[in-house]
Amino acid sequence: MASLFQPLYAPQCTRTPTHTPPILLPSRSPSSWFPVTNRSSRANIAAAHNPIKLNCFKTKASSTSAANMATEKQVQVFDSEEALSVSLAKYTADLSQKFTQQKASFTVVVSGGSLIKSLRKLVESPYVDSIDWSKWHMFWVDERVVPKDHPDSNYLLAYDCFLSKVPIPPGNVHAINDALSAEAAADDYETHIKHLVHNGIISTSETTGIPKFDLMLLGMGPDGHVASLFPGHPLLAEKSKWITFIKESPKPPPERITFTFPVINSSANVALVVAGAGKAHPVHVALGNGQEPEPLPVQMVAPEGQLTWFLDKDAASKL
């Protein structure tokens, strides 16, 4: 059977910015979602130069969420991945400004995969010079258990396309210890995060006491996985650990560490960044009336704060 997972693209981190405003769609929990028909969806996409701005509203998190909190959701659809990346840079820079004005740190968690390529505009003018990088603290929502110089390393990908281009202090880049086994690396990363909570670098949720990262930038796989939390896997139900490990990931390489849903869903802001027709089905399940026998991991993303979907028109093509 052909794998759902394509080999990682060769990173291309520099392109010319363009400006195409997004279409904003309201989003609701799966139970109350009013489906967007193909016809209206195509009409909306065709109107991308005159964005339709609909209200964001508070909605109950999906019943599959560990946290039964109100999640504010917004769905933005762009004409192209290029336009998506321009908007993602502005969104991230705006949050950076907000949090760095309020406190001494801005805690940002990234996934691997194509998300890193979609962050390329953030390391260009005007943001590269205007962001207060000294307060940034970078984390990985999941990491492959390989040496940091291995082509599969999420750290290496982020370093090549992002970290090497911005002056984040090296001590603020919180990668896993790649000398450890998967299990030990997960424990070690959780211990490290506990220290940063204790030191006040990472905030905590007032309701759960769990780390509350300021921003999580997540990709989604074609099977609807997020982080290294895969459909049907027992780790979806993990409640006590903040960070855990998997040794049989269906997406290679098999050994990984991953944040769990309690931590993902304590976040102040989560961006789900999804491009390409290969991801239209899980997007349809999460935001439209597509069906799967079991909730997909992406449907379990329901942060305490705000959830923003960044979709290109191919990923949104079934809405």
Ligand X SMILES: O=C(O)[C@H](O)[C@@H](O)[C@H](O)[C@H](O)COP(=O)(O)O
In the complex, which residues of this chain contact ligand X (CB under 6 A)?
111-115, 142, 144, 154, 219-221, 225-227, 251
Query: What secondary structure does DSSP assign to 218-260, as a single string?
Result: E---TTS-BTTB-TT-GGGG--S-SEEEESS-SSSSS-EEEE-
- State how far the Cα of 4 lies from the Cα of 1, in Å rounded to an integer: 9
Q: How far is the CB of 293 from ligand X (least distance, A)?
A: 21
CB 109 within 8 A of CB 215: yes
In the complex with ligand X, the residue whose CB is nearer, 256 or 318, is 256
- Omega before residue 51 within 30° of 0, cis: no
Shortest Å, Cβ 167 to ligand X: 25
Residue nearest to ligand X (CB): 113
CB neighbour list of residue 189: distance below 8 Å, 6 or more residues apart: 174, 176, 177, 243, 257
Residue 252 beta carbon to ligand X: minimum distance, rounded to whole angstroms = 9
Contacts of 122 (CB under 8 A, 6+ apart): 88, 89, 92, 93, 128, 131, 162, 166
In whole angstroms, the minimum distance from the beta carbon of 75 to ligand X comes to 18
Which residue number, 113 or 303, has a Cβ lying nearer to ligand X?
A: 113
Give the nearer residue to ligand X in terms of CB position, either 113 or 211: 113
CB of 232 to ligand X, least distance (A): 16
Residue 309 makes CB contacts below 8 A (sequence gap 6+) with 27, 73, 74, 75, 76, 271, 272, 274, 287
Residue among 220 and 268 whose Cβ is closer to ligand X = 220
Smaller CB distance to ligand X: residue 113 or 290?
113
DSSP one-letter code for 168: -
Please provide the distance, in angstroms rounded to a whole number, between the alpha carbons at the two ends of the chain. Answer: 27
Q: Which is nearer to ligand X, 30 or 113 (CB)?
A: 113
Angstrom distance (rounded) from CA 72 to CA 267:
12
Nearest-approach distance from CB 155 to ligand X, in angstroms: 10
**Cβ proximity to ligand X, 220 vs 236, nearer residue:** 220
Provide the minimum distance between the beta carbon of 225 and ligand X in the complex, in angstroms, as a whole number.
Answer: 6
Joined together, the tokens standing for residue 280 give 């239209």
